[in-house]
Structure 1
Amino acid sequence: MASERTLLRRRAGVLTAATAALVLAGTATAAAGPPELASGSLRGHDVSSHQQHVDWAAARSKGARFVYVKATESTGYRNPYFSEQYDGARGAGLVRGAYHFALPDESSGARQAKYFVQHGGDWQADGWTLPPALDVEYNPYNKKRKCYGLSKKRMVRWIRSFSDEVRKETGRRPVIYTTSQWWKLCTGNSRAFSSGNPLWIARHGDSSPGPLPGGWRYWTFWQYDIRGGLPGDQNLFNGPAGRLRSFARGK
């Protein structure tokens, strides 16, 4: 997933947060093709301002069926390409949703959730809009503060605050994007969200998403690489097209 500030230049960098997370963990790998999974899984991707003007028709022709578009970060950043990307994806026939990059050390979860919903993170049960998503992962701006200076209990409270506010505003719990390693390190492998929040697991350069964190029994989305045939990061949805549309409708 993409952060709009880097360790070198705030708001103007080119390094994605997902890449930063891999570098911090010492596990950066070369790009790989889609993992061989059971037939019926769908290919998709996620984009941010780094991708700017996306050729959505080309992405669909290469197999994309869904996309998450970055909307906001903290409470002071909006993706300047969001509307173009979000509407363009829909126009090309992709099921699309919006995600928020969390900076838990800057403001409360509820405050960031409100900002997110106000600037693209809403949801409607039209079969084309994925539920809002929360990107919570390694701090890309300070590698010594991987958990943003929050204790495990405070981090769980922060995520709960964000999730509760998104549900209040939209009627749905957000999808949670994270890595198993970060979730264990920063939440103590909390099981508080596995029954209500779909999981978007990030695990790159492997043939499976690996052991899932926090009591989740299955993944809904899997980000399997940061490069590939589609613009931005490469993802899979755990199900066929009909299931994706039902998920978008909230069923």
Structure 2
Amino acid sequence: MPVHRSGTARPRRLTAAGILLAAFSLLFTLPSAAATAPARGSAYLGMGVLAHDGRGGGTPSLAAVTQTEGVDVSGHQGNVAWSTLWNSGVKWAYTKATEGTYYTNPYFAQQYNGSYNIGMIRGAYHFATTDTTSGAAQANYFVDHGGGWSRDGRTLPGVLDIEWNPYGDACYGKSASAMVGWIADFLNTYRARTGRDAVIYTATSWWTQCTGNHGGFAANNPLWIARYASDPGTLPAGWGFHTMWQYTSSGPTVGDHDKFNGAYDRVQALANG
């Protein structure tokens, strides 16, 4: 009997060692969060939609109201073929200008001026990082680096891109009330600097999660809704309609395509204020 017990003890030890070895092997083959986190400054309009709200894209359903095609671009697109987009029917464009208070788009001039020169109505957007600096600081940075507005009939008001944090916690570690306060700080500062109310770009699911579905901005700030489907879906609280809709990240020439909820003269009206 003692010999028998001695003979079974060794395989058990080997089994335990094997399990431990397998665990270490798995640990070192799993990707780390640090290895997969994007570089600061690389965020763009709809980045969180792709990651959290589905990768679909679909053909927008026909609507009673005429829709006007647009695009949004960032540094990821580099130099954009504006003539190709114009000839395809794109009439308006938004370009990423800034992120936080630490990043400006190196392709901003080609994108912002190029769209204007080809004949489009254009605007600029800011990717918010609400855990780095205040809303006022980021609004000022945005205006100082391309996010201003001019009454030339072809410049749209600036956009606050507020969505999932690509660098960490979805809501940037803020409570719903703190997030609403940050957004108000940005919007109030932008209006004081430019005389215009900024457009809010967001997705309903993020807005619900991170602001508690706050409805207090709908009276003054146009809504640019993100949803990659055949319709915009349920809107955040307060807004009875959307002004713009980002409907796909896989459109022709550049990925992100949008519909303005109205004919071309309504795009002009938003530009004119």
> Does the 8 A contact of 1:138 with 1:146 survive in 2?
yes
> Does the 8 A contact of 1:19 with 1:226 survive in 2?
no
> Does the 8 A contact of 2:60 with 2:231 survive in 1?
no
Shift in CA distance, 160/102, structure 1 to aligned 2, threshold 3 Å: same
> Does the 8 A contact of 2:65 with 2:261 survive in 1?
no
SS at match of 1:191: coil
Q: How far, CA to CA, are the matches of 2:188 and 2:41 in structure 1?
A: 31
> Which 4+ residue blocks in structure 1 deviate beyond 4 angstroms?
none
Structure 2 residue corresponding to 1:133, chosen from 159, 163, 170? 159
Match of 2:23 in 1: none
> Does the 8 A contact of 2:224 with 2:245 survive in 1?
yes
> Does the 8 A contact of 1:17 with 1:138 survive in 2?
no
Match of 1:156 in 2: 180
Q: How far, CA to CA, are the matches of 2:219 and 2:37 in structure 1?
A: 38
1:229 aligns with 2:252: yes
Match of 1:181 in 2: 205
Q: How far, CA to CA, are the matches of 1:207 and 1:161 in structure 2?
A: 34
Q: Which amino acid is 2:212 matched to? A: G
Q: TM-score normalized by structure 2?
A: 0.83
> Does the 8 A contact of 1:33 with 1:228 survive in 2?
no
1:96 aligns with 2:125: no
SS at match of 1:185: helix
SS at match of 1:117: helix
Shift of 1:230: 4.2
1:208 aligns with 2:212: no
SS at match of 1:213: coil
Structure 1 segments unaligned to the other structure (5+ residues): 1-5
Q: TM-score normalized by structure 1?
A: 0.90
**Where do residues 1-251 of structure 1 align in structure 2 (5 Å cutoff)?**
7-11=36-40, 16=44, 18-25=46-53, 27-29=54-56, 31-38=57-64, 40-142=66-168, 145-204=169-228, 206-250=229-273
Q: Which amino acid is 1:200 matched to? A: W
Deviation by residue 1:212-236 (Cα, 9 ceiling, x = unmatched): 1021011000000111124231100
Number of equivalenced pairs = 239
Q: Which amino acid is 1:242 matched to? A: D
Shift of 1:97: 0.1
SS at match of 2:77: coil
> Does the 8 A contact of 2:44 with 2:74 survive in 1?
no
Among all aligned residue pairs of Structure 1 and Structure 2, give the percentage whose two residues are the same amino acid.
Answer: 46
Shift of 1:57: 0.8
SS at match of 1:210: coil
Shift in CA distance, 73/210, structure 1 to aligned 2, threshold 3 Å: same
Question: Quick check: which has more Rg, 1 or 2?
Answer: 2
Q: How far, CA to CA, are the matches of 2:244 and 2:200 in structure 1?
A: 10
SS at match of 1:227: coil
Match of 1:3 in 2: none
Structure 2 segments unaligned to the other structure (5+ residues): 1-34
SS at match of 1:46: strand
Q: How far, CA to CA, are the matches of 2:45 and 2:262 in structure 1?
A: 27
Q: Which amino acid is 1:153 matched to? A: S
Shift of 1:105: 0.4
Q: How far, CA to CA, are the matches of 2:111 and 2:45 in structure 1?
A: 19
Q: How far, CA to CA, are the matches of 1:36 and 1:156 in structure 2?
A: 34
Shift of 1:35: 3.7
SS at match of 2:251: coil
Q: How far, CA to CA, are the matches of 1:217 and 1:56 in structure 2?
A: 33
Match of 2:13 in 1: none
